[in-house]
């Protein structure tokens, strides 16, 4: 395996791992969106915020280590941030009719 093949393999593995973590956060957002009929849970929001922060640190590390380029990392975070913003907007609408 050449060094460029090894680098591409590491890049793909890093992206796959980051996407797996992003998918877990996405699932948390989906669950909360599905439960908008229940009371807003500050603890759940704290978990989501903590998970988002952790993922942002993972992505930052992967970029700095040269495992991924900046664009795909930012794309993963951007998608999650949009979904999280939609969740918070829906929660705010529910609590402030």
Extents of the domains making up the chain: 3-95
DSSP per position, 67-94 = SS-HHHHHHHHHHHHHHHHHHHHHHHHH
Euclidean distance between CA atoms 30 and 24, whole angstroms: 10
The string of pLDDT tens digits covering residues 53-96 is: 999 999 999 999 999 999 999 999 999 999 988 888 887 777 67
Q: pTM score, two decimals? A: 0.82
CATH architecture assignment, domain 3-95: Orthogonal Bundle (1.10)
Residue among 49, 62, 90, 26 at smallest CA distance from 71: 62
Tally of CA atoms within 13 A in the half-sphere of 11 that contains its CB: 13
More confident residue, 21 or 29: 21
């Amino acid at each position: 395996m050449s060094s460029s093949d090894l680098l591409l393999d590491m890049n793909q593995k890093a992206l796959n791992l980051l996407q797996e973590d992003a998918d877990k956060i996405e699932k948390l957002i989906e669950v909360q969106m599905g439960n908008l009929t229940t009371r807003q849970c500050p603890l759940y929001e704290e978990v989501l915020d903590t998970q988002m922060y952790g993922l942002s640190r993972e992505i930052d590390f992967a970029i700095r280590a040269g495992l991924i380029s900046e664009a795909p990392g930012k794309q993963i975070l951007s998608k999650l941030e949009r979904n999280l913003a939609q969740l918070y907007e829906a929660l705010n609408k529910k609590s402030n009719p």
